[in-house]
Amino acid sequence: MSLRSSLSAASRRVIAVVLHRVWEWLRAHAEISPSTPAGRRFGYLGEGACIGFPTGAIYGEPWIRIGDHTLIGVHVTLSAGFVPGLDLGPDPIVTIGKACSIGRGSHIVGHKSIEIGDDVFTGPYVYITDQNHGYTDPDTPIGRQWPVNDAVVIGSGCWLGTGAIILPGTRLGRNVVVAGGAVVRGEFPDHSVIAGVPAKVVRSYDPEAGWLPPQPEVPLDEETLAQIAELTGDRKPAQVPEPGERAS
């Protein structure tokens, strides 16, 4: 006979209430803050910063710096290095700026350098890493090939949508919007919107013209441009800019 079947309904209700209250107490009091023993293991955990409970995997804390008033959601993995206990040298590996918000279930996995600016917000389940396995040797399983590191920089004010993946070598400018589910690698300018797999600029900002219209997935052909020119009264067809170019 199982324990559950041997308990009366009233007993199970009492146990459930006690367990739920204990869990709520843990959620309220077990978060990591600068004053807790776990918080003091970090290279820096700023004033007002906290990491929600339950946490994800956290190791390499001496090489992780988190700015003032940054909030790390529950189940977030923060790691520096392959495994706990490695000496990674004098410099920080993962740096998160001030007043950031990292969504639940996200992973920030650093081996060389991940720099996240101030006021960066992410949705849940965002993955950021500066390392991938190589695949140059066709005879060796990819998981056994030596990994390749490339630093990641995420500028201040960026927003990363749910499920976005930031790959090694990515450099985002200031106030960049990353669409949910985008797979990002490469350099992207300030004040741009990027989306897709692989991600590319779909909208950009011009200081004089403001936000430019969304860029088409496929450039318009000459016949379509001529029809647009006829309908709008233009004598010369407008030239649609290629993705990443400024509109004239």
The residues annotated as belonging to the active site are 133
CA angle (56, 58, 59) in 5-degree steps: 160
In sequence order, the β-bridge partners of residue 147 are 133
Side chain identity, residue 196: G
Strand partners, 192: 204
Q: Which long-range contacts (CB under 8 A, 24 or more apart) does 77-83 make?
A: 77/106, 77/107, 77/108, 77/109, 78/51, 78/108, 79/108, 79/109, 79/110, 80/110, 80/111, 81/110, 81/111, 82/111, 83/59
Which tokens sit at 59?
């190791």
